[in-house]
């Protein structure tokens, strides 16, 4: 499998030349003519190395690197292309963790060897933050590993967590690991009346009720061979619980108004923000159905319990929203905006965070998102007012998140973690003690 290389270069002649040469050398090259496009590619991840010019039309390559690094992303090795006048900038980038730089005009053979050596030492793995799907917090990395194990088992899975934490996202991750290419069908059990939910789940025959002018397959049939995701299963009525239990036990459904049972072969994944165990004790949720859907239960923690994920998801949502809105001029979150994000409780979790970022992309008038773009006026004013005296707390949180990510990437190995951070092992121990961290 060829290694992927991200090339960020605005000069069409140099960009094409480098792309052609590295393609001949066996690399898969993504050439990005702007920093904004480079950022979108880097957030998707999977690169063995990055070659970036420092001078770019929309944003400096150095600013791109430092901003992504400041968010806590574990980046692939960076090699910068610089003119003679920007050598001081390149040296500063080396101190910040960049791998190397070359000065124009440079020896192309020498650059190829530098990139090859770095790429061989850095093989992107599933553990890299750039490859994370559900988040970079330790709890979410453990959840990803658990879902991968469950994908091989085929057991019924119940996903619990507050509204907006990403339960459907986790269900899709499980599905893609278990049955890629097969259908994934989701239905919100709390959003439909009992009659509509019955027809949605099991389908109906023509003439089964007023308005049924044709036969329709239900979601059980639509998900044949794949995954059926029942969101908010705790909102289902007792009568519907009986029909669902029968369909799960018999692995067949009968359409509304029909008589012929239809066999179904699906993986069932359910989700709820309710406490089903308490509902069973109260008699509002069937105990036999509870055990059917709850072979294995996984909990997604709320965003406030995993602050490492806030800026990581914010960066991804920002890149997506900018692409959808055509805002190539919008480059990053300001420091005050990051402080506001980290200081907010996010009761609506990822759904609220995505909405805030989408709102900010619409309202922002400058090259950076400010706190007033993200939050209401009162919260934004507090963030701006606290920016000065809250800087130490902000830096402490950033440092903690960065060390946690490095420990995760190095499986808790202290020597390797210290080396990747560019500090001594003793210094790492001191920082971890101060921040309340352990290698585990």
Reported pTM:
0.60
Domain check: are 296 and 244 in the same one? yes
Residue 438 lies in a domain: no
Spatial neighbors of 407 by CB under 8 A, at least 6 apart, are: 417, 437, 439
Residue 403 lies in a domain: no
pLDDT at 438: 63
Q: Count structural domains, the chain.
A: 3
Question: Per-residue pLDDT tens for 376-396?
Answer: 644 444 444 444 445 566 667
Q: Chain centroid to CA 140: how far?
A: 10
Domain check: are 294 and 153 in the same one? yes
Across 309-327, average pLDDT: 88
Domain check: are 158 and 22 in the same one? no
Domain check: are 228 and 377 in the same one? no
Please check the confidence at residue 17 and state whether its pLDDT lies above 60: yes
pLDDT at 2: 57
Say what percent of the chain tops pLDDT 90.
40
Instruction: Give CA–CA dist 82/68, Å, rounded.
Output: 20
pLDDT at 131: 57
Domain check: are 11 and 75 in the same one? yes
Across 372-378, average pLDDT: 71
pLDDT at 164: 93
Residue 437 lies in a domain: no
C-beta of residue 278 within 8 angstroms of C-beta of residue 107: no
Q: How confident is the model at residue 407 (pLDDT cuts 50, 70, 90)?
A: confident
Domain check: are 114 and 163 in the same one? no
Domain check: are 8 and 95 in the same one? yes
Domain around 166: 138-300
Domain check: are 253 and 287 in the same one? yes
The residue from 262, 277, 300 where one domain ends is: 300
- Residue 320, domain CATH: 1.10.8.60
C-beta of residue 233 within 8 angstroms of C-beta of residue 274: no
Instruction: Give CA–CA dist 308/26, Å, rounded.
Output: 36
Q: How many helical (H) and strand (E) elements, i.e. helices and strands, does the chain have?
A: 20, 14
Question: Per-residue pLDDT tens for 85-106?
Answer: 677 888 888 888 888 888 888 8
Please check the confidence at residue 286 and state whether its pLDDT lies above 90: yes
Domain check: are 196 and 285 in the same one? yes
> Phi, psi (5° rounding) for residue 82?
-140, 155
Least confident of 18-22, 295-299, 330-334, 346-350: 330-334
Residue 417 lies in a domain: no
Across 317-331, average pLDDT: 84
- Residue 208, domain CATH: 3.40.50.300
Residue 107 lies in a domain: yes
**Measuring CA to CA, how many Å separate 435 from each of 214, 396, 402, 409, 413?**
63, 8, 11, 18, 18
Across 182-203, average pLDDT: 92
Domain check: are 151 and 288 in the same one? yes
The residue from 386, 401, 427 where one domain ends is: 386
pLDDT at 53: 93
Residue recorded with tokens 């909405």: 355
Residue 439 lies in a domain: no
> Of the spans 138-142, 206-210, 275-279, which averages the highest pLDDT?
275-279
- Residue 34, domain CATH: 3.40.50.2300
The residue from 131, 150, 181 where one domain ends is: 131
Domain check: are 219 and 352 in the same one? no
Residue 436 lies in a domain: no
Question: Per-residue pLDDT tens for 104-136?
Answer: 888 888 899 899 888 877 644 434 444 568 888
C-beta of residue 98 within 8 angstroms of C-beta of residue 65: yes
Please check the confidence at residue 319 and state whether its pLDDT lies above 70: yes
Domain check: are 173 and 294 in the same one? yes
Instruction: Give CA–CA dist 73/401, Å, rounded.
Output: 10
Residue 429 lies in a domain: no
């Amino acid at each position: 499998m060829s290694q992927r290389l991200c090339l960020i270069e605005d000069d069409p002649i140099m960009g094409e030349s480098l792309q052609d040469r590295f393609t001949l050398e066996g690399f898969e090259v993504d050439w990005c003519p702007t920093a904004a496009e480079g950022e979108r590619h880097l957030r998707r991840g999977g690169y063995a190395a990055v070659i970036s010019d420092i001078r770019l039309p929309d944003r400096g390559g150095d600013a791109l690197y430092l901003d992504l690094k400041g968010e806590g992303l574990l980046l692939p090795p960076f090699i910068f292309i610089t003119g003679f006048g920007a050598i001081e900038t390149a040296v500063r980038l080396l101190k910040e963790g960049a791998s190397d730089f070359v000065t124009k005009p440079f020896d192309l053979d020498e650059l190829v060897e530098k990139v090859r050596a770095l790429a061989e030492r850095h093989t992107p793995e599933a553990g890299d933050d750039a490859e994370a799907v559900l988040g970079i917090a330790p709890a979410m990395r453990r959840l990803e590993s658990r879902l991968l194990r469950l994908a091989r088992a085929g057991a019924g899975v119940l996903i619990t967590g507050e509204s907006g934490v990403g339960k459907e996202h986790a269900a899709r991750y499980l599905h893609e690991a278990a049955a890629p290419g097969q259908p994934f069908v989701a239905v919100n059990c709390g959003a439909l009346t009992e009659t509509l939910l019955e027809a949605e789940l099991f389908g109906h025959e023509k003439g089964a009720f007023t308005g049924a002018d044709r036969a329709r397959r239900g979601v059980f049939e639509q998900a044949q061979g794949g995954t059926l995701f029942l969101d908010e299963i705790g909102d289902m009525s007792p009568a519907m619980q009986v029909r669902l239990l029968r369909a799960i036990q018999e692995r067949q459904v009968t359409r509304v108004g029909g008589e012929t049972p239809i066999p179904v072969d699906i993986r069932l994944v359910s989700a709820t923000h309710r406490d089903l165990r308490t509902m069973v004790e109260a008699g509002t949720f069937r105990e036999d159905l509870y055990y059917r859907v709850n072979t294995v239960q996984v909990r997604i923690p709320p965003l406030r319990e995993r602050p490492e994920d806030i800026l990581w998801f914010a960066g991804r949502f920002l890149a997506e929203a900018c692409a959808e809105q055509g805002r190539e001029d919008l480059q990053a979150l300001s420091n005050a905006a990051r402080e506001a994000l980290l200081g907010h409780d996010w009761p609506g979790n990822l759904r609220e965070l995505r909405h805030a970022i989408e709102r900010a992309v619409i309202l922002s008038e400058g090259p950076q998102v400010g706190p007033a773009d993200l939050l209401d006026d009162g919260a934004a004013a507090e963030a701006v007012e606290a920016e000065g005296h809250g800087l130490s707390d902000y830096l402490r949180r950033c440092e903690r998140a960065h060390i946690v990510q490095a420990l995760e990437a190095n499986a808790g190995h202290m020597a390797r973690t210290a080396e990747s951070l560019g500090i001594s092992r003793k210094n790492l121990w001191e920082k971890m003690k101060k921040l309340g961290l352990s290698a585990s």
